Chains A and B, each alone.
Chain A
Amino acid sequence: MPNYLSEGRRSIFLFKIPNPFKFLGDKQRAIGVYAAGAFFAIGWWAFIDAITLASRDPFKQVSIGFEDWISGILTTLGMIVINLIDKSSLHGDTFSYSGDSLVWKARLFLFVGFALIAGGLAGSVCVLILKYIVPEVPESELYYGIGQVAQCGFIMLSTVILWIAQNTQEEYQYNFML
């Protein structure tokens, strides 16, 4: 017996999990988007804080190189890729004359976006371990590595919150698409 939510949408879970943020009411999408923007900014400012400290320390052992920047850039690129996808083309709801060739393309881009984000996060942890933990740099310089891991973590959190806020469309809200 398929699991039907309202509006006839099928749920993929066996148990219907209620939306935990319903108490915010009709403002939840706006609050989610603001929170996503806030976490994105916190992530990048954590990284800027780390490299500012690094640039003001002339006696440090490690030097900030391109490998510190690349994981943040990849994660941000993944976030941009994910948010440029038209959400309705993932369900196959839109009527198209050329059949349903758009659905798998949209899902492919979604996969690429998630792969970029996960790759950025994994790469940042990699850089932390190989560049900062293994050579046993002093505590104050370990912060540079932690800063870039925190950057990727916060950007990923921001992407997740943005996705949830945009996709848990309340059933009573109608979207008139022009």
Chain B
Amino acid sequence: MAGLRTLAFVLAVGFLLVILSCALYHNWWPLFVVATYVLAPLPNALSARCAGGDDLMSDYHNGAVDAGEFITGIFIVTGFCLPLVLAHAEVITIPAMVMSIIGGILVYGTIIAYTHFFANEGEDF
């Protein structure tokens, strides 16, 4: 249980960093990466659901699962590339970009840690 609370705290700190990177510099462009954080796990989850794998093989891979993972990979990299491109074009400052990217690492790390360690805890069989 302590692990789950730490995870929620880290997730909140991640989002806080992204919002701070916008608010401290009065430039709300980095908020678009929050949209990618929300959208990123969706194709993966949708395609894993629709792929039709049963309980015997939890690792069932067909074309739909591959497509979902591919699009999820695109969203994850977009979450990191958008602040980079914005900072390179000098729309946002370099500290704002660094804060956005660190926030992104925290949020994605939380999502990955949750799905690996905590998502299957409810199963008792």
Contact = CB atoms under 8 A, between A and B. Distances in A.
B123 interface: no
A42 B81 contact: yes
Q: Per DSSP, are chain B's interface residues mostly helix, strand or loop, or mixed?
A: helix
Interface string A31-56: 00111111011100100110011001
Interface string B13-33: 000000000000000000000
A38 B70 CA distance: 8
Contacts of A33: 66, 69-70, 73
A175 B62 contact: yes
Contacts of B57: 174, 176
A41 B69 contact: no
Interface in B32-64: 52, 57, 59-62
B76 interface: yes
B61 A29 contact: yes
A52 B86 CA distance: 9
B98 interface: no
Contacts of B82: 45
B72 interface: yes
A89 interface: no
Contacts of B90: 56
Contacts of B77: 37-38, 41-42, 45
A26 B70 contact: no
Interface residues of A, number: 26
Given A37-B74, A40-B74, A41-B74, A48 B69 contact: no
Contact of A178 (B52, B84, B88): B52
B119 interface: no
Given A34-B70, A175-B61, 19 more contacts: A33-B66, A33-B69, A33-B70, A34-B73, A36-B73, A37-B73, A37-B76, A40-B73, A41-B74, A41-B76, A42-B81, A48-B85, A49-B81, A49-B89, A52-B89, A162-B66, A166-B66, A174-B57, A175-B62
Interface of A: 26, 29-30, 33-38, 40-42, 45, 48-49, 52-53, 56, 162, 166, 173-178
24 contacts: A29-B61, A33-B66, A33-B69, A34-B76, A35-B73, A36-B70, A36-B73, A37-B72, A40-B70, A40-B74, A41-B76, A41-B77, A45-B77, A45-B78, A45-B82, A49-B84, A49-B85, A49-B88, A49-B89, A52-B85, A56-B89, A162-B70, A173-B59, A176-B57
Interface of B: 52, 57, 59-62, 66, 69-74, 76-78, 81-82, 84-85, 88-90
